[in-house]
Amino acid sequence: MKIPVGLSFLLAGSLAAAPAAAQVCGDYVRDPLEQCDDGNTRNLDGCDAACGFEQTHRINTLKLQRLADTVCTANAFGGALTPAGLANTQTAIDFTVANGATSILFHMSGLDDLTGTADPSLSVGVLSATPVDPTNPAYNGTSDLDWWYAADKTLLDAQRQPLHQLPGSIAGNILTAGPGSAVLKLILAGGPASLSLSNAVATVTTGASTTPASSAGAPPGHLAVEHLDPALQSYATAGLPADPDFGTLCSNISALSLKNTPIPPALIGPGCNNRYTAVNSLLDVWVRGCIFLIAPVVNATQPDQSDPAAPPVGAGPPYLLQFNATTSVVEGCLDSAMASVDLTACLADAAYSSYLKFTTDRVVAGDNRILRDSFETGDMAAWSAANTDSGDLTVDPSAAMNGGTQGLLGNINDTTGLFVEDQLPEDENRYRARFYFDPTGFDPGEINNKRRTRMFIAFEDGPRRLAAIVLRRLNGQYAVMGRARQDDNSQVNTPFFDITPGPHRVEFDWIRSSGPDANDGSFVLSLDGAVVSTLSGRDNSISSVDFVRLGALSLKVGADGTLKWDHFESNRMSATAP
């Protein structure tokens, strides 16, 4: 049906005058222009600060090359390795890619075409990461589609964006990124290496698009609370593990970063016919070489490139590095005129050309989990700090619960607080935690009319208490309540809920209000798997969770007995496991 011109003007005017519906990123509601909304404006958690899907890939095949070719026309670093040396080095790389110890991510920013078909401009951030639950039998670093990876914070800026980004584009399903700088953290020759790259250029063919997997609370997949658009698809793989379909990475490796990389343990002592000790670096090995028995493993090789971002030293490159014949330590540098120059400045400019081939698959660059500890290691090493009061807080088999063999035991005999502290939370707008506890035998000091102690407190730096779990004993009857602080410093409490002596599971879900006077913050308390109280409509917008403590806190005169805790877990978004 055609609309009369006059009426069309009226309709247009009416539509123009109608107020547009407000779209707010970070409110758990996926608006029409959003690809996801996970309730926050945090980058690198699967849904970015603008509520866009985060397309992140991890290298799941990484092959160090010995020879140059028409793609990477120079390769001094790989060329230093003999066939036997390359085989040993590659075996270690393969092993650590498979177990997740080597996890290099490519994070796409500004990617408009998630299918990877064509995009004239994007940025490719280069990161290192750690897999979540790498001991899970389902984890395989060579086939880890949509698995979770926690990015190395040292490679992120204040907005949780990669510090090192390569300018990129996609044409005909071919992604090209660079040139630019990056840092690769990997296991090289059996030891950890942090390699600074210049003139890095990566090229890879994007694969077919798929719908990202869904998760019920553990990897792989995206969580339901991310509210990911169910129609969204993105390219799931890039490159194939065979020539000519590998992706390629040509770059120059800083000699200074090799100098700062400790020598791998396998090359100390007899590994290189006793040339090297623990004082040496990976650079020393490349400059002097390595011979095992009578077979060369690494041929002595000098840097053949320079870093365009570093000032040349003296007459500039090529540089000749000199080593001490006794210690094998690189101690000197000659410029192209054979004049001695400052070693540190020389190493900052000198570099080795390199050539890597790779494949990738899509992963989730974000760790929903903050901390999980069942104390099965027999210690408190998973925690940032602990106050044990000279041994009154220990890890002991008698405190084990829910099928474990170890738990956290507090022997309470004075007013000194006993606790473990976790500093992993990062300005969390949502914080979910669960732990088991057993109050049997604990007396908060009833004879002195002291009936309560806090077992858990969530803090903002300052510190400012934001939420707490409180244990009460009144006439021998134990009970638990939750407490949350508001912006005006008033506190709102759940009722106390009676519990029996013995193990119990307590959980809570704290959500920060979305803005001043929005009054949409909340606190939900669960006991033994059932929600018992919900505090909604809270005005708590000014603070976020920065650290937490678990233990016997705020003890009073007369407190005595034991408290036990076990199976602690905290998450950013999803519910904790039973």
Task: Pull the structure tokens for residue 50.
Answer: 């603008």
Choose the final residue of a domain: 365, 393, 411: 365
Provide φ and ψ at 17, rounded to 5°: -80, -20
Q: Is the same domain home to 78 and 214? A: yes
Choose the final residue of a domain: 296, 331, 365: 365
What whole-number distance in Å separates Cα of residue 422 and Cα of residue 430? 16
Evaluate whether residue 137 is within a structural domain.
yes
What whole-number distance in Å separates Cα of residue 336 and Cα of residue 353? 18
Burial of 1 (0-12, 13-18, 19+ CB in 10 A): exposed
Q: What's the confidence (pLDDT) of residue 22? A: 64
Q: Determine how β-strand 119-131 pairs with β-strand 385-387.
A: unpaired
Q: What's the confidence (pLDDT) of residue 2? A: 33
What whole-number distance in Å separates Cα of residue 307 and Cα of residue 352? 10
Residues 6+ apart with CB under 8 A from 300: 80, 286, 287, 288, 289
Residues 6+ apart with CB under 8 A from 207: 116, 235, 236, 237, 238, 239, 240
Evaluate whether residue 259 is within a structural domain.
no
Q: How far is CA 559 from the centre of its chain?
A: 40
Evaluate whether residue 273 is within a structural domain.
no
**pTM to 2 decimal places:** 0.82
How big, in percent rounded to 5, are the helix, strand and coil portions of the chain?
A: 10, 40, 45
Q: What's the confidence (pLDDT) of residue 368? A: 79
What whole-number distance in Å separates Cα of residue 504 and Cα of residue 479? 11
Choose the final residue of a domain: 365, 386, 403: 365
Evaluate whether residue 333 is within a structural domain.
no
Residues 26-83 pLDDT 10s? 888 999 999 999 888 889 999 999 999 999 999 999 999 999 999 999 999 999 999 9
Evaluate whether residue 228 is within a structural domain.
yes
Q: What's the confidence (pLDDT) of residue 574? A: 72
Q: Is the same domain home to 473 and 361? A: no
What whole-number distance in Å separates Cα of residue 541 and Cα of residue 89? 52
Burial string for 396-434 (b: 16+ CB within 10 Å, else e) reads beebbbeeeebbbbbbbeeeebbbbbbebbeebbbbbbb
Residues of the chain with pLDDT under 50: 1-20
Rg of the chain over CA atoms, in angstroms?
A: 29
Q: What's the confidence (pLDDT) of residue 21? A: 54
Q: Is the same domain home to 422 and 358? A: no
Burial of 137 (0-12, 13-18, 19+ CB in 10 A): exposed
Q: Is the same domain home to 358 and 373? A: no
Evaluate whether residue 67 is within a structural domain.
yes
What whole-number distance in Å separates Cα of residue 179 and Cα of residue 112? 21
Q: Is the same domain home to 83 and 136? A: yes
Q: Is the same domain home to 480 and 502? A: yes
Q: Determine how β-strand 247-254 pairs with β-strand 237-238.
A: unpaired
Q: Which amino acid is at 161?
A: Q
Q: What's the confidence (pLDDT) of residue 573? A: 78
Q: Is the same domain home to 384 and 359? A: no
What whole-number distance in Å separates Cα of residue 169 and Cα of residue 182? 17
Provide φ and ψ at 371, rounded to 5°: -150, 140
Report how many domains make up the chain.
Answer: 2
Residues 519-570 pLDDT 10s? 989 999 999 999 999 999 999 999 999 999 999 999 999 999 999 999 999 9
Please identify which residue in the block is written with the tokens 């600060």: 49
Q: Determine how β-strand 214-215 pairs with β-strand 222-223.
A: parallel
Evaluate whether residue 565 is within a structural domain.
yes
Q: Is the same domain home to 429 and 358? A: no
Q: What's the confidence (pLDDT) of residue 440? A: 97
CA distances to 78, 106, 182, 284 from 287, rounded to whole Å, are 13, 31, 23, 5
Q: What's the confidence (pLDDT) of residue 13? A: 38
* Neighbouring-strand partners of residue 395: 408
Range of the domain at 60: 55-254+354-365
CATH number at residue 514: 2.60.120.200
Q: Is the same domain home to 360 and 435? A: no
Q: Is the same domain home to 90 and 217? A: yes
Q: Which amino acid is at 484?
A: A
Q: Is the same domain home to 361 and 417? A: no
What whole-number distance in Å separates Cα of residue 271 and Cα of residue 297? 10
Q: How far is CA 332 from the centre of its chain?
A: 38
Evaluate whether residue 482 is within a structural domain.
yes
Q: What's the confidence (pLDDT) of residue 217? A: 80
Q: Is the same domain home to 440 and 361? A: no
